[in-house]
Structure 1
Amino acid sequence: MMSVIAPFIKGMGIGAGLIIAIGAQNAYVLTQGLRRNNQFVIAGICALVDAILITIGVAGMGLLVTTNPVLLQITAWAGAAFLFFYGLSSFRAALKPEVLEARQSAGPESVKKAVLTTLAVSLLNPHVYLDTVVLLGSVGVQYPEDLRIWFGVGAVVASFLWFFSLSLGAQWLAPLFRRPVAWRVLDIFVGIVMWLIAGSLVLKALS
């Protein structure tokens, strides 16, 4: 039982670090949560899309990479490099934090429009594929097959927790994240998480 905790926690950590950065998807979830407009549908779609892509990444990349030791090393170093620069960008963002304006607008949105908009902000962003399929996949394959699933489960759990917490807690979160200092703290946290995981990949690649 103890052996599955480490990959589960790492999956949650890296998944949360990639998900909670400011962007169109989080802005939309927060705004609709503030308006209480189809908030469960929107949060569920965002989390489900992440779950599908994470599963593809961990399973697909695992089958591809584990059959090639050279490719395994390449993905480990590539993942570490990406995480390093991702963390660096978070630290830079902390120097000039953005302010997220979540404003209420008149009139409720139909379920159909909410679904289509959520799918658009989730799937039309190329970074979502890099984060879930490529990056999480490359990190996940560092584990044996019986533990790899727990890494993926951890990342999926982080996604569900974040999107539903963001949606349900929007009334409280929106005023908080209108303050630049809130994004500064969040960006620093994300940067630290990314660098710690990058370091663990480098150590594993060198061992």
Structure 2
Amino acid sequence: MDSALYTAFLAGLLLGGSLIVAIGAQNAFILRQGLLRQHVFILCLICALSDAVLITAGVAGLGTLVARSPVLITAVTLGGAVFLFAYAFFAFRRAFHPDALKAAGSGQVTLKAAIGACLAFTFLNPHVYLDTVLLVGSLSGAYVGAARASYAAGAVSASFLWFFGLGYGARLLQPIFARPQAWRVLDTLIGLVMAALGSLLVARLV
């Protein structure tokens, strides 16, 4: 790889990493599933591939089209807010309901339900489109030809590294989460994050 392609790849990697490494609904979900060791590979793969598709679309020029469709942005924002509030409710219920808390470390979520939640966290979150399609896509305009492809590859690589690192790295925290109180704290934090993100989405519609 020559210096120009390497520089473009590194730029995409750093931008993608800076955007994705943040407390959010998708990351909180992957962290919890990683702690439970439930469907980790497929969920991490779905998140990373989804980012890859959106980043590729943004670099290809879809970001400009999405920015011109306020109806689409409003629909995604509203749907995302409803989903986040619902997930926050269930997280709080797990944290404060004794039976739900007891099952938190051992309850098995079906693969179908886990995939459904994963897809919802990904595609009902307007920030995903703002980050991957619009921001990453618009900044790709600084590159042409092979350099643009290398930039996109860097951004996609950041997603794969982050999601698989988060999903499989979560098990290192399992000694801490052997205590029920740790699950109570985690689910409370997840509920707060989901509710806060949902509130921010609603605020954007007002």
Q: Same fold (TM over 0.5)?
A: yes
> Does the CA-based 8 Å contact 1:166-1:173 persist in structure 2?
no
The separation in 2 between residues aligned to 1:4 and 1:119, in whole angstroms, is 32
Is 1:155 aligned with 2:161? no
Match of 1:167 in 2: 167
Match of 1:124 in 2: 124
Match of 2:192 in 1: none
Deviations 1:50-74 (A, max 9, x none): 0000000001259x79xxxxxxxxx
> Does the CA-based 8 Å contact 2:37-2:171 persist in structure 1?
no
1:19-168 matches, cutoff 5 A:
19-60=20-61, 104-168=104-168
Match of 2:199 in 1: none
Quote the RMSD (CA, aligned, Å): 2.5
Question: How many Å apart are 1:173 and its aligned residue?
Answer: 5.2
The separation in 1 between residues aligned to 2:173 and 2:154, in whole angstroms, is 24
Deviations 1:2-35 (A, max 9, x none): 2201010010000000001101100000000010
Question: How many Å apart are 1:46 and its aligned residue?
Answer: 0.4
**Equivalent pairs, count:** 141
> Does the CA-based 8 Å contact 1:58-1:140 persist in structure 2?
yes
The separation in 1 between residues aligned to 2:147 and 2:173, in whole angstroms, is 35
1:1-16 matches, cutoff 5 A:
1-16=2-17
Percent identical across equivalent pairs? 47
TM-score, normalised to structure 1, is 0.63
The separation in 2 between residues aligned to 1:160 and 1:21, in whole angstroms, is 15
The separation in 1 between residues aligned to 2:146 and 2:173, in whole angstroms, is 38
> Does the CA-based 8 Å contact 2:36-2:106 persist in structure 1?
no
Partner secondary structure for residue 109 of structure 2 = coil
Task: Give ranges in structure 1 of 5+ residues lacking alignment.
Answer: 66-100, 179-207
Task: Give ranges in structure 2 of 5+ residues lacking alignment.
Answer: 66-94, 96-100, 177-181, 183-206
TM-score, normalised to structure 2, is 0.63
Partner secondary structure for residue 169 of structure 1 = helix
